[in-house]
């Protein structure tokens, strides 16, 4: 197939969004040390009819993590720190949880630190609030307990990567933005890339963030977050293609740094996880892949490399319904068709018998003992639990009512950030509080106040 033929097929993948009344995406493709295709589809700004181009700037969300990992690994290579350092050596005001958290734990998401996204929502923050780097770090310093013993489990934690950014600052004396500008972006000529540390900053060529609404339209998904290290890297597909090429030609960073970034984490029991240092190691149709996804507000992103084929894809989107991972795989299907393994037919799922195992509902009189105000010092927030028409209801000053369903030994909530609570009792058998568990927060203690 000719180069034009490949490009026409890629254009077909994005055709449904390539119109003047829809958000869209930008794509870049690299192969054998070259950027072979870049293109934009749809609109960067629907209010002013500004189209997406390869130089449109997106918040790439969690794809940012590999840059924080590169910074830390470089400082380790230079002897400025060790990946096995206790993080409190560099950040002494992080609480002492009774167990050592190392830099390596942060890199592999095995620290046990709660993820700030779910924690702040539990506290009542909204995702369109101003969420600053300092705000996130303050939350860490109020954490009372870990989700688990460091190194015993994997649980994705944006918080860990925010601490990595702070460690870069305390180690080098430069801001995280300054260090990455000087040591990554300028040497690679990534002229449209920076860690966004000021949400009020005017930024030319910025793509706006959108969410789909039920009538087929869109609304602006406001983005006021500066989560350095874990997210908040603003970049273009052109610049990220240059970053992809650096993994093969190492214009910056020693080869040992690049190799170390690809080393997968190992739990205390010897189990190897798929997450390396800001990179997920995987496989697609028989070929090794290295990549990362990102999702924040209306932004969706994916960077995928096929290291053995020296092939890479970057897709940046500004609409929350996009699936950039699947689109990246489809781009790979086009260019790597001759080396990809055949698609395996999926086996039909067997029907599972529908057994009615629901416990008998509690009576209003039984539910009444759970009523009261419940406070968590860790997040400085209170939920009031009352008996509603169909069971318990958790009320919060900033959230809609959360309906709790009795399952036999605990209650489940009807929202993602409040998944499961287990009430606790004191020595006299009276309700003393509850523990909230689920997602990236485990055993968050709430004390009953009345």
Evaluate if residue 15 carries a pLDDT over 90. Answer: yes
Assess contact for 195 and 283: CB atoms under 8 A: no
Evaluate if residue 347 carries a pLDDT over 90. Answer: no
The pLDDT assigned to 294 comes to: 97
Evaluate if residue 3 carries a pLDDT over 90. Answer: no
Band of residue 354 on the pLDDT scale cut at 50, 70, 90: low
The pLDDT assigned to 349 comes to: 65
**Residues 43-91: tens digit of each pLDDT:** 999 999 999 999 999 999 999 999 999 999 999 999 999 999 999 999 9
* 296 closest CA partner among 68, 14, 52, 65: 65
pTM beyond 0.85: the answer is yes
**Residues 99-156: tens digit of each pLDDT:** 999 999 999 999 999 999 999 999 999 989 999 999 999 999 999 999 999 999 999 9
Band of residue 357 on the pLDDT scale cut at 50, 70, 90: low
Token pair recorded at residue 352: 């599972």
**Residues 416-450: tens digit of each pLDDT:** 999 999 999 999 999 999 999 999 999 999 999 98
Q: Architecture of 364-448 per CATH?
A: Beta Barrel (2.40)
* 10 closest CA partner among 30, 38, 34, 52: 38
Token pair recorded at residue 197: 């540390």
The pLDDT assigned to 348 comes to: 64
What 3-state DSSP class applies to 253? coil
The pLDDT assigned to 345 comes to: 65
The pLDDT assigned to 343 comes to: 83
**Residues 244-278: tens digit of each pLDDT:** 999 999 999 999 999 999 999 999 999 999 999 99
The pLDDT assigned to 420 comes to: 96
Band of residue 353 on the pLDDT scale cut at 50, 70, 90: low
Distance separating alpha carbons of residues 14 and 141, to the nearest angstrom: 44
Token pair recorded at residue 225: 């977050």
Cα–Cα distance list, 75 to 5, 82, 189, 350 (Å): 44, 8, 21, 52
Q: Where are the domains of the chain?
A: 3-335, 364-448
Distance separating alpha carbons of residues 62 and 146, to the nearest angstrom: 22
Domain 3-335 is found in CATH 3.40.710.10? yes
The pLDDT assigned to 359 comes to: 85
User: Which residues does 342 contact at the CB level (< 8 Å), separation at least 6?
Assistant: 285
Distance separating alpha carbons of residues 391 and 358, to the nearest angstrom: 14
């Amino acid at each position: 197939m000719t180069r034009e033929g490949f490009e026409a097929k890629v254009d077909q993948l994005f055709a449904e969004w390539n119109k003047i009344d829809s958000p869209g995406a930008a794509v870049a493709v690299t192969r054998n040390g070259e950027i072979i295709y870049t293109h934009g589809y749809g609109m960067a700004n629907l209010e002013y009819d500004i189209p997406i181009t390869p130089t449109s700037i997106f918040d790439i969300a969690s794809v940012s993590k590999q840059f924080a990992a590169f910074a830390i690994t470089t400082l380790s290579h230079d002897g400025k720190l060790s990946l096995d350092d206790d993080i409190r050596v560099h950040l002494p005001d992080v609480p002492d949880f009774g167990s050592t958290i190392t830099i390596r734990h942060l890199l592999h998401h095995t620290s046990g630190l709660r993820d700030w996204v779910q924690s702040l929502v539990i506290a009542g923050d909204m995702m369109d609030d101003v969420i600053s780097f300092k705000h996130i770090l303050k939350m860490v310093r109020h954490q009372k307990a870990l989700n688990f013993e460091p190194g015993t489990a994997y649980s994705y934690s944006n918080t860990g990567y925010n601490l990595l950014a702070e460690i870069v600052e305390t180690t080098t004396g430069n801001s995280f933005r300054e260090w990455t500008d000087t040591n990554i972006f300028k040497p690679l000529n990534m002229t449209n890339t920076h860690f966004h540390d000021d949400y009020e900053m005017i930024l030319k060529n910025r793509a706006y963030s959108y969410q789909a609404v039920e009538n087929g339209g869109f609304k602006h998904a406001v983005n006021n977050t500066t989560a350095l290290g874990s997210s908040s890297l603003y970049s273009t597909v052109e610049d990220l293609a240059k970053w992809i090429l650096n993994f093969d030609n190492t214009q910056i960073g020693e080869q040992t740094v690049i190799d170390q970034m690809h080393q997968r984490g190992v739990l205390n029991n010897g189990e190897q996880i798929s997450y390396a240092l800001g990179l997920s190691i995987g496989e697609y149709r028989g070929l090794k892949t290295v990549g990362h996804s990102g999702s924040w507000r209306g932004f969706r992103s994916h960077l995928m490399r096929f290291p053995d084929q020296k092939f890479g894809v970057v897709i940046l989107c500004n609409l929350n319904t996009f699936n950039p991972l699947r689109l990246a795989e489809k781009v790979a299907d086009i260019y790597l068709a001759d080396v990809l393994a055949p698609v395996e037919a999926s086996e039909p799922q067997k029907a599972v018998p529908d057994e009615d195992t629901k416990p008998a509902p509690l009576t209003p009189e039984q539910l009444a003992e759970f009523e009261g105000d419940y406070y968590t010092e860790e997040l400085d927030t209170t939920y009031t639990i009352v008996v509603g028409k169909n069971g318990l209801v958790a009320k919060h000053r900033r959230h809609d009512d959360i309906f709790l369903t009795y399952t036999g030994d605990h209650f489940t909530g009807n929202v993602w950030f409040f998944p499961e609570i287990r009430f606790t009792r004191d020595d006299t058998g009276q309700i003393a509080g509850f523990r909230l568990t689920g997602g990236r927060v485990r055993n968050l203690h709430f004390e009953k106040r009345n």
